[in-house]
A and B are shown apart, each in its own frame.
Chain A
Amino acid sequence: MNFMDWYRADRLPTIFCVGCGNGTVINCALTAVSEVGWKREEVVFVSGIGCSSRAPGYIDADSLHTTHGRALAFATGIKLANPDLQLVVFTGDGDLAAIGGNHFIHACRRNVDMTVICMNNQIYGMTGGQGSPTTPRGALSTTTPYGAEEGTFDLTALSIAAGANFAARWTSYHVKELTNAIRAGLETPGFSFIEAAVQCPTGYGRRNRLREPEDMIEFFRTHSMLRQKYDRLLAEGKLVPPDTIVVGEFVRRDRPVLGGKK
């Protein structure tokens, strides 16, 4: 089965803007789900609210489109009620780390058996480009017209500190690596977190000199650094540019799992 067979063809094209990275991440996630061989009846796609959270609506399988920030709470309920179901959660940086921040750390702490894919576009896309907990310092948004001054969350590091069994970060440029990481996450019992940096040309790129979709893809290509190289440079005391996106697999471990298959 190809990832295209998972789409609800009658719902396409998507509502996403021209060149929005969300579609790419859905392609990669569905490819990973096809590769592990899960059937339509055994997987549930869950999301909160946001552009990224519209993903399950385009997938031909059972899904829940829940309230803003609460996807992980609903997903935990599904898993505990029926541990035989496989869970894939699509969420945005605002959905997961702002309003849903507490659900995020506690789902990691409980190590609930599910795979969470966060499309991190560093902005609130759906509501018109307000700053989010991942908007980088200096970036312009409608709520940071003179440049963001706050620090940001490193979502992958947060998931590791809170106890997730698997964590990886890639971008919408690295489609093959992202697919493999999602697949590894699906195969790892417990809470698997995959952060995918995606372009939001409308809410983020337009205000930050990355107007065309390909500008952001080019940014991901040139500013990504493998975790191993990043660690080596740090150990050698070398300088790493602050806008570097560190990519790769960060953790794969075997902490006790909540809600695993009986």
Chain B
Amino acid sequence: MKLVIDPRRCKGCNLCVKVCPYRIFRPGRRPNERGVVVPELDRPERCANCRLRRLYGRTICGVCQLTCPDQAIRWEEEEAYEPRKVAVEY
């Protein structure tokens, strides 16, 4: 699962920053085209729901989604991890 913030719904209240026990949300830095400073995600793969929802078959934690007053937080299905070739430049 992948955590996403819908930039068309978020109003930039930063309540998600306040409530996530893993501190996955950080206050954003630049306003988007709607003038809203949407929070940034810091290594969202740490989110309890991203990691454990499949295993338990229900929402785990989910506090940010319940708290978000503007229904902007959701999880998207993600392709299984594929090893990628990374070109390293010397």
Contact = CB atoms under 8 A, between A and B. Distances in A.
A21 B19 CA distance: 14
Given A16-B69, A27-B66, A27-B71, A213 B15 contact: yes
Contacts of B9: 12-13
Interface in A163-219: 172-173, 175-176, 179, 212-214, 217-218
Given A4-B74, A13-B9, A18-B12, A24 B67 contact: yes
Nearest to A23: B69
Interface string B1-43: 0000000110111110111000000000000000000000000
Given A4-B74, A13-B9, A175-B63, A214 B69 contact: no
Nearest to A201: B13
Contact of B68 (A27, A176, A212): A27
A114 interface: no
A228 interface: no
B45 interface: no
Given A214-B17, A217-B19, A18 B67 contact: no
A21 B66 CA distance: 11
A92 B71 CA distance: 21
Given A4-B71, A214-B18, A19 B13 contact: yes
Nearest to A2: B59
A218 B68 CA distance: 15
Contacts of A19: 11, 13-15, 69
B18 A217 contact: yes
A145 to B, nearest CB: 27
Nearest to A28: B66
Interface of B: 8-9, 11-15, 17-19, 59, 63, 65-72, 74
Given A18-B13, A24-B69, A217-B19, 14 more contacts: A7-B71, A13-B11, A14-B69, A19-B13, A19-B15, A20-B69, A22-B69, A23-B70, A27-B65, A27-B71, A31-B66, A212-B14, A214-B15, A217-B15
